[in-house]
Amino acid sequence: MSPSRSAQRNVRDVVFVDGVRTPFGKAGEKGIYAGTRADDLVVKCIRELMRRNPSLPADRIDEVAIAATTQTGDQGLTIGRTAALLAGLPRTVPGFAIDRMCAGAMTAVTTTASGIGFGAYDVVIAGGVEHMGNHPMGAGADPNPRFMSERLVDPAALNMGNTAENLHDRFPAITKDRTDAYAAASQAKLAAAYSKEQIQQDLVPVATMKPGQGWALHTTDEPPRPGTTVADLAELRTPFRAHGRVTAGNAAGLNDGATAAVLASAEAAEELGLPVKMRLVSYAFAGVEPEVMGIGPVPATEKALRNAGLGIEDIGLFEINEAFAVQVLSFLDHFGIADDDSRVNRYGGAIAVGHPLASSGVRLMNQLARQFEEDHSVRYGITTMCIGLGMGATVIWENPHHADYQSFAADQATTATTEGAAA
């Protein structure tokens, strides 16, 4: 039996209520999270979200979606569900795990946001975690030999550093000098954001215990190298190719960390008295050649802009994940944006702060939401990232502090009232 038209739902507005993250650490035995479980990092984020939003009843959460690239060990066992239970959410709250490599948390957000828009959920928690110290990239993976034997992908596609070198080959105007200059600027912007306390607001303090060292409380990110200069970066070796251009200084490192965010329908946010930090406008994913996966944000952004009826000139802020400097610069060159454009990564990016794979999408959203609060002149911003094996992801957000958003919200309320009366 087909549902009656009265039973069909209209697409609802989805809003970003709040987001938090742990400080990011360096992967490995010397990193701050050596000996700490990945799922416990997620629990810290969920509990902090609930603490910061006391008007949100735990039993109103309809889903918990947590991403991890390596879904085994302390990142396995359907981590969305296990983290929800460990965080003390009611047993009635379901959860699931998700994987889209670097865009894991971003996909957790877009997937659950679609459920909100459809009417299946009112409030969700979405995020991601990657403990690259416990689970190095690619550990336990078994790529099908057909990829190579049938030449389905270039061998470089299975090594992210090689794909970045391939981007340099494709776009010779992006020189090593440019990528090093961009990387040094990322470090400087992050240091400036820390000095203005623009980063600390979203960080969840994490206490850790190491044998022989005792307890430590971590309240800041471990990877940043403030004061880094282009001259410093010029001395680094190029591990992926002799006389190459990609180094540890102009790429994100190997990191540990977790993120989580609360999303809700606009109606549920109003009902529960929850803040609205951003409205989701559009999102898109796109595939590209795996051997140049860093170009993925370009078609994903073009698709998201088309879906939203917007142009690149309408975007006032960009949060671009810095897996590699060359990947960011290829995006900027494509859209005619200067390397030092003030709209791009105002707080610095992953080259400085770190990139714990599946967690990074929500970090981008946190930083964009903070910038919306600071700059009411900007109406639209994007969060975008490249993804291993040749993909890109982009989400477009609207600033609720912009004057035109207020008129949009008023129009929506009028429409809802008129439709309700007609029904």
Active-site positions?
102, 355, 386
**Which one-letter amino acid corresponds to residue 228?**
T
Which residues in 160-182 are b (16+ Cβ under 10 Å) and which e?
bbbbbbbbbeebeebebebbbbb
Query: How far apart, in whole angstroms, are the C-alpha atoms of residue 125 and residue 129?
Result: 13
Query: How far apart, in whole angstroms, are the C-alpha atoms of residue 1 and residue 18?
Result: 40
Q: Which of 103, 243, 254, 245 is nearest to 182 (CA)?
A: 245
SS3 405: helix
Residue 399, C-beta contacts closer than 8 angstroms, at least 6 positions apart: 278, 316, 372, 375, 376, 378, 379, 380, 381, 405
Inter-axis angle of helices 104-118 and 360-374, to 10 degrees? 70
Query: How far apart, in whole angstroms, are the C-alpha atoms of residue 234 and residue 362?
Result: 31
Query: How far apart, in whole angstroms, are the C-alpha atoms of residue 401 and residue 378?
Result: 9
In order of 161, 207, 218, 324, the CA distances from 22 in angstroms are 26, 11, 9, 22
- Cβ contact 371:350 at 8 Å: no
Residue 174, C-beta contacts closer than 8 angstroms, at least 6 positions apart: 167, 168, 326, 329, 330, 333
